[in-house]
Amino acid sequence: MEGTLRIHDPLSADWVTGILLLVFVLLAYTNVASPKKWRLLWGSMFSLRLGKQVLREDVDPQDRTLIGLIVAAMVLLALFAYQVAVVSGVPSSGLLLFGRSLLFVVIALIAQVLLLNLVGVLFRSDGGLMEYLYTMLLITIVLGVLLLPVVLLVAYQPGLRSLLVPLGVGVVALLVLYRWFRAVLIGVGEGVPLRHVFLYLCTAEIVPVALAIHSATH
């Protein structure tokens, strides 16, 4: 009826659709330019260690398709964080809140990459650090892909949000725990004392995640 206002849903705004289209473009580009990347991702996901050939030939930080997948994953993680915040009743919403979420995700990922490189420089030993770095990046990409259907349904199926948001949070938690498990396996496999591996995880990953959760829920 003329003059009737359309209910504004911050989770399915036009800019959300635009961001999702961008993600699909990045995924489609990877599918066309380097379809073997999908085999790399899923193979790396179910292999507890990355083989030397994978590290030497298949994981190139300057590969455009890999960079595109990392960007898509960060955008999806930020969008899911935005959805969780809005569903949880955070007063602010919109593109500004999403921008803050994306900034947090980008800073967190860059900080972890820099920290791993710093640890390697300080101890003058790899100790599996580069393997864990690439494992972290690949798992982050897989996490983004797994969150894509969740993010889509949360955006456009309001009735399912109460089920999908906890499901997405559970997927994130499981993948993070799996990543830490892989870190232990890599460190022990490279001869690093278990206490040093746990020290790194506690100071560089577990404590920051716990602080982030605490600040987000209080």
Q: What is the DSSP letter of 6?
A: P
pLDDT of residue 81: 93
Residue 6 has pLDDT above 60, yes or no: no
Average pLDDT of the chain, as a whole number: 83
Q: Higher confidence at residue 73 or residue 89? A: 73
Pick the closest to residue 146 from 119, 168, 117 (CA basis). Answer: 168
Q: What is the DSSP letter of 54?
A: I
**Contact yes or no for 67/18 (Cβ under 8 A):** no
Q: pLDDT-based confidence at 3, cuts 50/70/90?
A: very low
For 96-133, the pLDDT digits (tens) are 999 999 998 998 888 888 888 787 777 666 667 888 88
Q: What is the pTM of this model?
A: 0.86
Q: How many CA atoms lie within 13 A of 32 on its CB side?
A: 6
